[in-house]
Structure 1
Amino acid sequence: MTKFIQLHALTVYAPSNLNRDDTGRPKTAKFGGAERLRISSQALKRAIRTSANFRERLAGNLGERTQRLGDAILRHLRGNGVDDAKALEITRIVAGIFGKIEDAKDKPQTNIKQLAFISPEEKVAAFELADRLVKDGIDAFKDNKQAGLAAGLLRRADTAADIAMFGRMLADNPDYNREAAVQVAHAITTHKVVVEDDFYTAVDDLKTSAEDAGAGFIGELGFGSGVFYLYASIDRELLLKNLGGDPALARKAIEAFVEGFAKARPSGKQNSFAAHALANYLRVEKGSQQPRSLAAAFFKPVWGDDLLAKSVEALEGDDRKGGLIAQMNGVYGALFDDARTLRAIPGRPWDPSHDSTLEQIVAFSASE
């Protein structure tokens, strides 16, 4: 029985700065006493959620994470001839169901203070509620109270695949929170890293030879490179529950996520580095057993001239010893029922009898 789908990937990124900290340098983490490059789970999830394949596969079944629902409602009401004061009051009532509304004078009075994850059904219901308040009067809100309006607007399950996967929190209406069916770890390099600095200049094309020879602009940028280990786990039962029991949509969501996990990359400084990488190694495991990360394979940093091959070896082992996958199975018993692996390792021939294609991996992941 497939309850959990686990994904393990190794992706090689050339010099880049995909995910920056508050100083603009690549994010890092200490692991096994060594500094590693890091890509946050938030950056990875957004890269997947906004990727072309994800949006194409799940078109019509995606939510919107925004503070600006009120803007659209206000324009809608004004466009229908509602006067400004009444339109603003109704907008604040409806948008306020998703979170507290801004009251600072220097900020839009229709904005939700926090980002709200809103499903397509809820967005339609929000516009319908605004129209009803115009027709029935705002006193209908005062009689019904916010909890009553929330019950008619918010959903505990719907067709928003990204909300079902990544969850949401509504602080003022916790009954309509959605527990995430997909857990994504921060990606870290399998080896030690040293963040390097790039001193760069920009030339003023219109500067004449009679002027000074200096650059028009100078700057400094941190970067790093390495083999990243990525891990994610999908709770298929929870995903199905969050999607209102729609198995076809759950399969589409799994397919979109798995493809995105292999192909999507954060957008940070891509114009400067063009770090467009695909997973060189992708392993998918299915079963009812408790999920477990394989990050411990890299607690002792891998080293040598071929960090990718050494990273694969730490997971799978070689002719002399087993890797962490076999070792953990030996100690705990089988930690999955079935698995497939994609390998694109330089210097290693691709073997169709042993290695899966991405298309096969995606199909395997989504199958019952």
Structure 2
Amino acid sequence: MNISQPASLGVEYVYQPMIAAGVNEKLAKAAAEKIAGQFGKVKNDKGAATVKNLEIEQLVHVSTHEIALIKQLVEKLISENREPVAEELELLRKEQHSVDMALFGRMLASSPAFNVEAACQVAHALGVSAVTVEDDFFTAVDDLNAGEEDKGSAHMGEQGFASALLYSYICISRDLLVKNLGGDEDLARRAIAALTETALTVSPGGKQNSFASRAYASYALAEMGTKQPRSLAVAFFQPVRGENILPTAIECLKQQRDNFDRVYGQCADRYYELNAEKGEGSLSALLDFVSQ
């Protein structure tokens, strides 16, 4: 896993450990500024508190290997009670990327040589049918209000929501993923399987306490091949209507796939389907397929 550090890299991994080890504050701050500056532009806010001047202005993804290099350098600086020299600040690495960095990439505007091209592309999920936005009316009660002056709810509000059948598309370049992982084929297979299982079974955490939207994927089509990938979103340019939305949407998706194959030739070398609506296929078999 990589660590996303918009600000605290210099504070958490350099400044605080050096201060805790008894290093002079001025020296610790100088070391933290130099090290953090290798990963992004350090804020120049002279009026801010000391540690604020160590924050990086941009979000930066740092691999666990790079974090380990920072920690090793800090231990050395503490033992020798000094600031880092120029050659010690070369902490960015092109190799030993963490899995999520290998999948989703890294962009460093100030050090483009260490950018990582993402091996995974994720489309926005889109609703395949017409939906009606409902209003969830809620109240909050003040348990300490004895009702002597004011009665009723302490707060009243409403939250709009809708329930849609969603189509989601994910594309992974397996060859690029293996390259990003330094040629580790086994790790690439495990990463693809983990991402696939997560996409099918894990729901976003937002508003779960209010709506308990714990949906598993009802249908999945996994394709594998060497040709240019293609999304099947065009199948839903016209909203799916009627009472049997799920089976109708699945048939629209499969029909669009077949139409592409007729026009362009076989777009995938092989595929696997999971259909929970009919009880066909299994998650374990699907994960075995994508791990090939």
State TM-score, norm by structure 1. Answer: 0.74
CA distance change for structure 1 residues 231 and 139 in 2, over 3 Å: closer, same or farther?
Answer: closer
Deviations 1:4-61 (A, max 9, x none): xxxxxxxxxxxxxxxxxxxxxxxxxxxxxxxxxxxxxxxxxxxxxxxxxxxxxxxxxx
Check the 8 A contact 2:23/2:81 in 1, yes or no.
no
Matched, 1:325 2:257: yes
Match of 2:92 among 142, 149, 154: 154
Match of 2:4 among 65, 68, 71: 65
CA distance in 1, matches of 2:48, 2:274: 52
Question: What SS does the aligned partner of 1:262 have?
Answer: helix
Question: What SS does the aligned partner of 1:75 have?
Answer: helix
Q: What is the CA-CA distance between 1:82 and the residue it aligns to?
A: 1.3
CA distance in 1, matches of 2:291, 2:283: 12
Alignment-mate amino acid for residue 264 of structure 1: V
Check the 8 A contact 2:40/2:56 in 1, yes or no.
yes
Which residue of structure 2 aligns with residue 34 of structure 1? none
CA distance in 1, matches of 2:76, 2:112: 25
CA distance in 2, matches of 1:139, 1:268: 43
CA distance in 2, matches of 1:159, 1:100: 22
CA distance in 1, matches of 2:247, 2:84: 68
Q: What is the CA-CA distance between 1:329 and the residue it aligns to?
A: 0.3
Question: What SS does the aligned partner of 1:361 have?
Answer: helix
Q: What is the CA-CA distance between 1:136 and the residue it aligns to?
A: 8.3
Check the 8 A contact 1:63/1:162 in 2, yes or no.
yes
Matched, 1:283 2:208: no
Q: What is the CA-CA distance between 1:110 and the residue it aligns to?
A: 1.9
Task: Show the 5 A alignment for 1:120-135.
Answer: 120-133=64-77, 135=80
CA distance in 2, matches of 1:200, 1:264: 27
Q: What is the CA-CA distance between 1:200 and the residue it aligns to?
A: 1.8
Q: CA RMSD in A?
A: 1.8
Aligned length: 286
Task: Show the 5 A alignment for 1:235-246.
Answer: 235-246=173-184
Moved over 6 A (4+): none
Question: What SS does the aligned partner of 2:162 have?
Answer: strand
Match of 2:244 among 306, 324, 327: 306
Check the 8 A contact 1:315/1:324 in 2, yes or no.
yes
Q: What is the CA-CA distance between 1:341 and the residue it aligns to?
A: 0.9
Match of 1:208 among 120, 133, 146: 146
Task: Show the 5 A alignment for 1:353-368.
Answer: 355-367=280-292
Task: Show the 5 A alignment for 1:173-184.
Answer: 173-184=111-122
Which stretch shifts more, 229-238 or 74-83?
Answer: 74-83
Match of 1:340 among 260, 264, 272: 272
More relative contact order in 1 or in 2 (CA 8 Å, sep 6+)?
1
Matched, 1:140 2:85: yes
Task: Show the 5 A alignment for 1:52-131.
Answer: 62-67=1-6, 68-72=8-12, 73-104=14-45, 105-106=47-48, 108-131=52-75
Alignment-mate amino acid for residue 257 of structure 2: I
Question: What SS does the aligned partner of 1:283 have?
Answer: strand
Check the 8 A contact 1:294/1:325 in 2, yes or no.
yes
> Between the two proteins, what is the percent identity of the paired residues?
40
Check the 8 A contact 1:133/1:140 in 2, yes or no.
no
CA distance change for structure 1 residues 206 and 81 in 2, over 3 Å: closer, same or farther?
Answer: closer
CA distance in 2, matches of 1:168, 1:331: 37
CA distance change for structure 1 residues 213 and 103 in 2, over 3 Å: closer, same or farther?
Answer: same
CA distance in 2, matches of 1:291, 1:358: 22
Deviations 1:235-262 (A, max 9, x none): 0010001001111111111111111110
State TM-score, norm by structure 2. Answer: 0.92
Q: What is the CA-CA distance between 1:81 and the residue it aligns to?
A: 2.2
Deviations 1:197-252 (A, max 9, x none): 32321112232344433211122212111100000000001000100111111111
The answer to which structure has the higher strand fraction is 1
Deviations 1:110-137 (A, max 9, x none): 2211111111110011122334455384
CA distance in 2, matches of 1:106, 1:275: 42
Question: What SS does the aligned partner of 1:206 have?
Answer: coil
CA distance in 2, matches of 1:82, 1:246: 40
